[in-house]
Amino acid sequence: MQEKGAVRADALSQRSRLSPQARLAAGDALAAALAEVVSRAGRVAAYVAVGSEPSTGRLLAACREVLLPVLLRDGELDWAVAGPLVRTDRGLLEPSGPRLGVDAIATCDLVLVPALAVDRHGNRLGRGGGSYDRALARATGLTVAVLYDGELVDLLPVEPHDVPVNAVVTPRSGLVRLPA
């Protein structure tokens, strides 16, 4: 099995080949696939896509209330209600409103997380900072990784700190629930 760094590099290379139009089309398909789940959720923790991530604009617009992450210096994720965004020195788009604390994720019915790949056991490969693993440990709602087609794989390398997700969503397959 490849190590996480190699899997991450392969995934990023594949994504870099996608056009902006393909990323937007994937985002539209993801929003349609999650429409029913989003309509039942009172509060959703999500993120604003950057770079080669599938577009989240349409998905965020469909939510009643959205909390967006704010990356703290120690790598933890604070949360704030979606509103005006500011670009950080790391290239992220974060809400500029009042912070709700790292435990605010526990108040969300649905948690949408970025991922580069997820395996059939729910093990998620992110960018490598561990921020989402720490946040997911606090989540009580349905946790769903947002992927492109082909990024749900059979097996990924796992470390003790990795926190699995409950489901993934892809443009073609829609919402796929994973074993606990």
Residue 152, Ramachandran bin (φ over 0: left; ψ between -120 and 50: alpha; else beta): beta
Query: Do residues 118 and 125 touch, judged by C-beta distance below 8 A?
Result: yes
CATH number of 4-177: 3.40.50.10420
- Average pLDDT value for the chain: 95
Q: How much is the pLDDT for 91?
A: 81
Beta bridge partners of 67: 45, 81
Confidence of residue 129 (pLDDT cuts 50, 70, 90): confident
Which residues fall within 8 angstroms of residue 32, CB to CB, at 6 or more apart? Answer: none
Alpha-carbon distance 3 to 7, whole Å?
Answer: 6
pLDDT (tens digit per residue) in 32-88: 999 999 999 999 999 999 889 999 999 999 999 999 999 999 999 999 999 999 999
pLDDT at 1 exceeding the cut of 90: no
Rounded average pLDDT over 13-25: 95
Q: How much is the pLDDT for 92?
A: 85
Confidence of residue 156 (pLDDT cuts 50, 70, 90): very high
Instruction: Answer yes or no: pTM beyond 0.75.
Output: yes
**Domain spans of the chain?**
4-177
What are the E-state strand segments in the chain? 43-45, 65-71, 77-81, 85-87, 93-95, 110-114, 117-119, 124-125, 142-146, 152-153, 167-170, 174-177
